[in-house]
Amino acid sequence: MHIDLLITDVGLPGGMNGRQMADAGREVRPHLKTLFITGYAENAAIGDEQLGPGMRVLTKPFAIDALAARVQELMSA
**5-42 residue pLDDT tens:** 999 988 888 888 888 899 999 999 999 999 999 887 65
How is residue 54 annotated by DSSP?
T
Question: Using 50, 70 and 90 to split pLDDT, how confident is the model at 53?
Answer: confident
Residue-level pLDDT at 40: 73
Q: How many CA atoms lie within 13 A of 75 on its CB side?
A: 11
Contact (Cβ atoms closer than 8 angstroms) between residue 36 and residue 45: yes
Contact (Cβ atoms closer than 8 angstroms) between residue 22 and residue 36: yes
Each residue's pLDDT tens digit, 35-47? 999 887 655 556 5
Residue 37 has φ and ψ, to the nearest 5°, of: -110, 135
- Give the pLDDT mean for 47-58: 78
